Amino acid sequence: MKKRVLFVCLGNICRSPMAEAMFRAKVREAGLEHVIEIDSAGTGSWNVGKPPDPRAVRTAAHYGVELGGRARQLSAGELSRWDMIIVMDQSNYDDVLGLGAPADKVYKLRDFDPEGPGDVPDPYYGSEAGFHDTYRIIERSLPGLLDALLAR
């Protein structure tokens, strides 16, 4: 049976597609792509159908990760499908719980960060450097997430 993880941010064009692509690469490296399903979504609707932010695409490419896909909005009807819903910040956490997600399925990505819990900052309104900072936070949090997912 596959384990399913969904990454969620606000618009699904920066943080969650980066996390999705980075986690997909990590899962592939571990030879686990046949047992782990990965996707991403946003809590907001204004970016639905748009590609990832060009700054996120450039940042990921800088580290050898390819971003793809189109933004989509998380729906209440899909919550039961995911084993873990990984949000980027407190606002995303509150929104996902507000849709009816069980609290024992929802985690902040930085719950798995060896440097400590907190929010993954939204780089959208900042400089390109913020995207690199976001990338590094996601990167160091993913090993702990993979361990937690496999332990479920």
What residues make up the domain containing 21?
A: 3-151
Give SS3 for 2: coil
Give CA separation, 3 vs 30, 53, 66, in Å: 14, 28, 23
- pLDDT tens string, the chain, 152 residues long: the values are 899 999 999 999 999 999 999 999 999 999 999 999 999 999 999 999 999 999 999 999 999 999 999 999 999 999 999 999 999 999 999 999 999 999 999 999 999 999 999 999 999 999 899 999 999 999 999 999 999 999 98
What is the rounded distance in angstroms from the CA atom of residue 124 to the CA atom of residue 128? 9
pLDDT at 69 (0 to 100): 93
36-42 β-sheet, strand order: 36-42, 3-9, 84-87, 106-108
What is the rounded distance in angstroms from the CA atom of residue 92 to the CA atom of residue 41? 11
CATH number at residue 45: 3.40.50.2300
Give SS3 for 55: helix
pLDDT at 139 (0 to 100): 98
Please give the positions annotated as active site: 9, 15, 122
Tally of structural domains, the chain: 1
User: Do the Cβ atoms of 133 and 123 come closer than 8 Å?
Assistant: yes
What is the rounded distance in angstroms from the CA atom of residue 103 to the CA atom of residue 30? 28
What is the rounded distance in angstroms from the CA atom of residue 132 to the CA atom of residue 65? 13
